[in-house]
Amino acid sequence: MPKSFFERLVQELGEEKADEMRGLLSNLGMLDSAHSLADAGLADASSATGQPDGTQDLTIESYFQLMNVDQLRLIAKRLNPALNVSDRNSVERDIRKSLNSPKRLKAMVAQLSSLELFILQTSKRYGGSCNGWELIIQAALRDFSGDKNSKVTSVSSKVFKENLVDHPGVNLIAKLLRDGLLLPESNQAAWFSHYYYYNADIAHPDEIYVDPRILAHIPAAAPAPYRRLNLKAADVDGATLSGSAQHPVQTVLELNEVVNLVIDAGGLPLTKSGLVTKTALKRLRKARPWLEPRLELHVDSLFALGLMQPESAQHYKVNLSAYTTFQALSLATRFRAVLHTNRSEDNEYPWRSGLDQLHSVGLARRVLTESLLLLPEHPVYLDDVLDTLWEGIWQIGRAIRRGYGYVRIPKEKESCPVWFKQTLTDELASFGLVAITQVSAPAAQQSQDSSKKQGDSLGNANKLVLQLAKGMAWYQAGSDETYLDVSKDVDVTEDVDVAKGIDRDVGDTLAPSAAHQTALLIQPNFEVIAYLDQLTADAVQTLSYMEIKRVDQQIAVFELSRASIYRALENGNSLADILQRLEANSPGLAANVRTSLQEWAKKRERLSLYSDYCLLEFASAAARDQAMGKLNNARAVAARFIAVPKRPKNLSISSDHNYKTAPKRVIRFDKDGSFHLLGASDLAARAVISAYALPKSDTKPKNDTKPKDDTKHGAKTRKAARHFVFNMKKIQQEGFSDTAHRSFLARVKGHIPDAQAALIDIWQGKQKQPSSASVAIFQHAQAQALASHPDIAKHLDAALNPTSYIIKQGAEEALRTVLNNLGLSLKTSLDSNLKADQVTTHNRMVGLPTRKMREMLEKAISEGRNVELKYKEEKYIYDRYGGSKKGAGKTKTQTLIPTDVFYNASTPYLEVQTLEGTPVKSIRIGYIAELAVI
């Protein structure tokens, strides 16, 4: 009897690892969800879906409230055909009685049709609960057409108070649902018409259970064998068929390569909508251009297989533990796992490929892949395959409904959606499951009749021929199903392994033998040649950390590098393991390669990063040494520290700091530029303080007499009273690094005084040192007017204010001469009372502060004087969202009569009128660029 997938998983991995993998693969449809459900607890599952049951086993009785009396009668009739009661209470009583009567249950089981028995047996193999689609696929893949009792029809009566949809897949289990032999997890499942379109994107509660009392009477049996379809062999010469399908192990190797890429990239960032960012994908593509065609597919697989774990909301990294477990699976299982991942399919025009006609891409892909097991060994025409499989099986993947809340009832025979052909010829062919070959016209000519009959558009020109490839043997090896080839007229009770019929037994790859020592050839130039046909799971694991350089149909070339050895060591392999695996899978290891590997491993030991440790700090080395004995896995660090992986419970901790949270702001600056600690400070703050600050010796601690008690264990924080000043010399000599600066700023409460901030900038060298020089000042109430004289202007430097200019260095005598020539003289003393508002000139003053201009304008208004202004008009600027804000408009120069100064909010405005008496307008004083009071 073939083993179930889970049984084989347990055999391959052992109980513990199998449990972990079970969780990872539970969403693949590969595992019986009964096991995962059992792990999670049935009570949780049922309460999450709002089912009435709260016990461990779902029974028919627990669904009584969800059934109308008609359905109850049908259930009762099924369990007891001699039933002769009709009222609800009597019916319920009889159902209970029947369920507890082994005799009645045995009789009921004996009356089951072969289809019904198969479905219940399948459910039993899955432990009594599994995804309903799994039952449907398994049932559809077997030929029940000859069994009249198993003829399925839609059910018109209400089932669990809802109508069942008329769908080829749902019809297979409809009667069993109606008669209570199958119990749905929820009546919101896909097969009920009470199902809203807006729920289409959420996970369907499609679990199906069987009452344990009924299950106990279902005879355990091996699954019924598959029967190969009796399709006409394509009339082609075998030699003309190209064997271009890639080797199935390439899929496993590619997935390993993508994992390595993601590990090296430090994980994958996601967008807010949960997709991998385009930049990250682009980077991966750039690193391995040859992976591009299937890179996204493998990235999707990583997520679907649970090999990625969230590091933050928008960043995922490889789950190394899960990856190690995944690698322990056989190659065929891994190959099947990648094929089964429910990958999304982005398609801008879903109606073109017929995606919109499918219930879900995952289901359709699963049905399509499984159905290939029914194909005969010999080459067949693709069109025959499409027609036969669409009619027979693929319709299970058809959309249940289309549009908002409407049940889709097809009125006429539908053609096979293009998606099936595309997926078969592109995706599945690329996985090496099938080989698609275009045969030339002469060969196709012979099959002209059949082509015409089927209305093939290609007619008698070129035809596509499909042949099962090596990948199918791997797919079969990863499944627990067997089937019969009807064309060979064999006993229907005999199981036939498809792998034997197609290629060498893939099972060999699951059990490495001495014959596989030649799977790898390690060359002295560090290239590793892998013979794909000879690869075993162990050999693939040996290759998993190496970089693929090239893959052909027969061989793949890898490179052993320092990075690859480093990757292997970081993934938990020891050097001995690596060497042992390399030697076990190859004829030998060259001496130079061995030496280099040892050197690379040794180099890794030179630098260690202890991540996420707990560092214990003691007052002295003696106290530290005393505590060392009490702690496990402790290592002494520096003079006063102990590093332990986790915070110890057997040691009294006075205070603690967590570096994963935002630092506490414990540093406050005083007015004099010194700073003090408000409480216990972490190492980052203290590292900066001890490196760049000195205790302020001349300041008596403010709270020396009454220390704060701000620690958990009552330690008085005398440190809080410590005052510090920056050690200017230290900062100058060693540089106050940006890191230290940022670290310090993150712990400062309030703000650093401007003077201190400027000093730090200067000490750090970010700003130049200040300058000082003796200068001569030119001062006059109308200095601006005088400065406009060209002879005077050439001796003047920058204006200090409207009344004062700096005289250029050494030009004092020259200026004096110029002024003398103009009949003026220079006084040698400055008038400290000389103010800018004494200036009245037609020359407009530039760059006056708004407040100063307002004062001058108010004075001009009170004195009845006019003003000459160069200003910018205020205007509204509209943004694209319809909002507006005030901004500067055109620049104007005008002589105006100021009438008033007023405020709009806190912005000062000047009200003016023109000399001609035209209407009053307002000018924002802040927009006045030049001002002259006339």
Partner 1 sequence: MAKRTASKTASSKTAPSKTKASKAVSSKASSSKISSAAVDIPSFEPLPRAGEVIAHEGVSLLELADPADLSAIMVHKKIAPHVLARLSETEALVLPDSRDALLKALKQAGYTPKVL
Touching partner 1, residues 743-782 (CB under 8 A) = 743
Query: 287 or 637, CB closer to partner 1?
Result: 637
Q: How far apart are CA 168 and CA 152, in angstroms?
A: 9
611 near partner 1, judged by CB under 8 A:
yes
Q: Does 719 bind partner 1 (CB under 8 A)?
A: yes
Burial code (b: 16+ CB inside 10 Å, e: under 16) for 897-907 equals bbeebeeeeee
- The reply on whether position 877 binds partner 1 by CB under 8 A is no
Query: Smallest distance from the beta carbon of 660 to partner 1, in angstroms?
Result: 4
Q: Name which of 190, 191, 170, 173 is nearest 182 in CA terms.
A: 173
Number of residues near partner 1 (by CB under 8 A): 75
Residues 6+ apart with CB under 8 A from 765: 735
Query: Smallest distance, Å, CB 560 to partner 1?
Result: 8
Cα 765 vs. chain centroid, distance in angstroms? 43
Token pair for 732: 């100058």
**Site for partner 1 (CB under 8 A): which residue of 2, 641, 670, 699?**
641
Pick 606 or 880: Cβ nearer partner 1: 606
Rounded Cα gap, residues 498 and 206, in angstroms: 31
Minimum CB separation of residue 644 from partner 1 in Å reads: 9
273 vs 652 by CB, closer to partner 1: 652
Asked if 729 interacts with partner 1 (CB under 8 A), we say: no
Of 715-723, 758-766, 819-827, 842-850, which part binds partner 1 (CB under 8 A)?
Answer: 715-723
Assess 614 for contact with partner 1 (CB under 8 A).
Answer: yes
Q: How far is the CB of 523 from partner 1 (least distance, A)?
A: 12
E-strand stretches of 68-133: 129-131
Beta-bridge mates of residue 912: 898, 921
Distance separating the N- and C-terminal Cα atoms of the chain: 111
In angstroms, what CA-CA distances link 683 with 273, 582, 657, 728?
39, 46, 9, 21
- Nearest to partner 1 of 320, 826 (CB atom): 320
Cβ-based nearer residue to partner 1, 584 or 678: 678
Pick from 616, 796, 861, 925 the residue near partner 1 by CB under 8 A. Answer: 616
896: β partners: 867, 914
The CB-of-16 to partner 1 minimum distance in angstroms stands at 24
Total residue length of the chain: 934
Q: Which of 715, 785, 799, 901 binds partner 1 (CB under 8 A)?
A: 715
The single-letter DSSP state of residue 523 is -
- Binding piece for partner 1, criterion CB under 8 A, among 173-181, 379-387, 729-737, 848-856: 729-737
Cβ contacts of 410 within 8 Å, gap of 6 or more? none
The crossing angle, in degrees rounded to 10, of helices 320-327 and 15-25 is: 110
Helix axes 249-264, 292-304, angle to 10 degrees: 80
Q: Which of 682, 710, 812, 911 binds partner 1 (CB under 8 A)?
A: 682
Minimum Å gap between C-beta 279 and partner 1 is 16
Query: Judged by CB under 8 A, does residue 627 bind partner 1?
Result: yes
**Does 687 participate in binding partner 1 (rule CB under 8 A)?**
yes
By CB under 8 A, which span of 140-148, 579-587, 649-657, 852-860 interacts with partner 1? 649-657
Q: Is 290 in the site for partner 1 (CB under 8 A)?
A: no
709 forms part of the interface with partner 1 (CB under 8 A): no
Minimum Å gap between C-beta 531 and partner 1 is 23
Q: How far apart are CA 53 and CA 178, in angstroms?
A: 19
Query: Per CB under 8 A, which region of 68-76, 180-188, 731-739, 753-761 contacts partner 1?
Result: 731-739
List the one residue from 2, 507, 663, 701 that touches partner 1 (CB under 8 A).
Answer: 663
Long-range Cβ contact pairs of 649-653 (< 8 A, separation 24 or more): 651/616, 651/627, 652/713, 653/616, 653/713
Q: Is residue 571 part of the contact set for partner 1 (CB under 8 A)? A: no
x-or-dash pattern for partner 1, window 235-274, by CB under 8 A?
A: -------------------------------x--------
Q: Which is nearer to partner 1, 495 or 559 (CB)?
A: 559
Which of 326, 324, 325, 306 is CA-nearest to residue 316? 306
Q: Binding to partner 1 (CB under 8 A): which residues in 881-910?
A: none
Tokens of 837: 């508002």
Question: How far does Cα 371 stand from its chain's mean position?
Answer: 32
What number of CA atoms fall less than 13 Å from residue 684's CA on the CB side? 21
Pick the piece of the chain touching partner 1 (CB under 8 A) from 75-83, 295-303, 653-661, 753-761: 653-661
Nearer to partner 1, 474 or 526 (CB): 526
Q: Write the secondary structure of 391-431 as one string of H (helix), E (strand) and C (coil).
A: HHCHHHHECCECCCCCECCCCCCCCCCHHHHHHHHHHHHHC
The residue type found at 680 is A
Pick out residues in 525-544 that bind partner 1 (CB under 8 A). 525-526
Q: Which is nearer to partner 1, 265 or 759 (CB)?
A: 265
- Least distance to partner 1, CB of residue 637, Å: 5
Give the CA dihedral 625, 629, 633, 637, nearest 10 degrees.
0
What residues numbered 579-608 form the site for partner 1, per CB under 8 A?
592, 596, 599-600, 602-608
Q: Contact with partner 1 (CB under 8 A): which of 612, 754, 879, 916? A: 612
Name the pairing type of β-strands 675-677 and 667-669: antiparallel
Give the residue with the Cβ less far from partner 1, 415 or 592. 592
Q: Does 653 bind partner 1 (CB under 8 A)?
A: yes
Select 392 or 663, whichever has its Cβ closest to partner 1: 663
Beta strand 555-559 with 527-531 is: antiparallel
List the one residue out of 275, 426, 418 whose CA is nearest residue 358.
418
Q: Supply the minimum distance, in Å, between the C-beta of residue 726 and partner 1.
A: 14
Buried b / exposed e over 277-305, threshold 16 CB at 10 Å, is eeebbeebeeebeebeebbbbbbbbbbbb
Give dist(CA 822, CA 790) in Å, integer: 12
Q: Residue from 589, 683, 762, 836 that binds partner 1 (CB under 8 A)?
A: 683
**Residue 654 binding partner 1, by CB under 8 A:** yes
Q: Are 797 and 805 in contact (CB under 8 A)?
A: yes
Q: Is 321 in the site for partner 1 (CB under 8 A)?
A: no
Considering the rule CB under 8 A, would residue 697 count as an interface residue with partner 1? no
The reply on whether position 658 binds partner 1 by CB under 8 A is yes
Find the binder of partner 1 among 303, 531, 618, 669 (CB under 8 A).
Answer: 618
Ramachandran quadrant class, 164 (left: phi over 0; alpha: psi -120 to 50; beta: rest): beta
| List 196, 197, 406, 659, residue binding partner 1 (CB under 8 A) | 659
Please list every residue from 78 through 117 that binds partner 1, using CB under 8 A: none
Residues 6+ apart with CB under 8 A from 828: none
Q: 687 or 826: whose CB is closer to partner 1?
A: 687
Stretch that binds partner 1, among 199-207, 367-375, 711-719, 815-823 (CB under 8 A): 711-719
Whichever of 380 and 684 has its CB closer to partner 1, that residue is: 684
Q: Return the number of the residue (93 or 549) whose C-beta is nearest partner 1.
A: 549
504: left (phi over 0), alpha (psi -120 to 50) or beta: beta
Find the binder of partner 1 among 48, 441, 515, 638 (CB under 8 A): 638
Which residues inside 547-566 make contact with partner 1, applying CB under 8 A?
561-563, 566
**In angstroms, what is the minimal distance from the CB of 572 to partner 1?**
11
